[in-house]
């Protein structure tokens, strides 16, 4: 699996997640893409599109410029990466709102199962 920054047009950057080669007819991938395409919430990264070519698959997401919470917390420049209580509260509330939407706001409940700092992406407001 790999993650790449891409560009759709002169103004639109995306994150392209290339998945490991898959087996089967792609029905599971198609179902997952269909579910993800119906997710629309400010605190959940938006799926822009997807690619499927034989056993190769890729997901195309909106690009969030400030990387992950994990990279922020554990960067080499730790001394300058101190978060105040207000910013910590904003991050925690954003995570909670996103999870609540996935659990109760979608037409079909979605369980993430992998919430961790690596998967918490920071947008331009961070």
Q: Among 90, 107, 114, 123, which one carries the catalytic annotation?
A: 114
Classify strands 47-53 and 56-62 as parallel, antiparallel or unpaired.
Answer: antiparallel
Residue 70 C-alpha from the chain's centroid: 13
Q: Could you say which DSSP state residue 105 is in?
A: I
Catalytic annotation on 67? no
Residues marked as catalytic: 114
């Amino acid at each position: 699996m790999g993650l790449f920054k891409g560009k759709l047009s002169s103004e639109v950057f995306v994150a392209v997640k290339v998945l490991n080669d898959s087996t089967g007819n792609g029905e599971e991938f198609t179902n997952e893409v269909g579910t993800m395409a119906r997710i629309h919430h400010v605190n959940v990264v938006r799926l822009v599109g997807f690619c499927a070519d034989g056993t190769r698959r890729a997901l195309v997401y909106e690009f969030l410029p400030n990387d992950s919470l994990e990279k922020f917390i554990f960067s080499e420049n730790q001394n300058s990466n101190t978060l105040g209580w207000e910013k910590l509260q904003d991050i925690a509330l954003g995570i909670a709102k996103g999870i609540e939407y996935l659990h109760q706001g979608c037409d079909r409940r979605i369980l993430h199962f992998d919430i961790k700092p690596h998967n918490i992406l920071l947008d331009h407001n961070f």
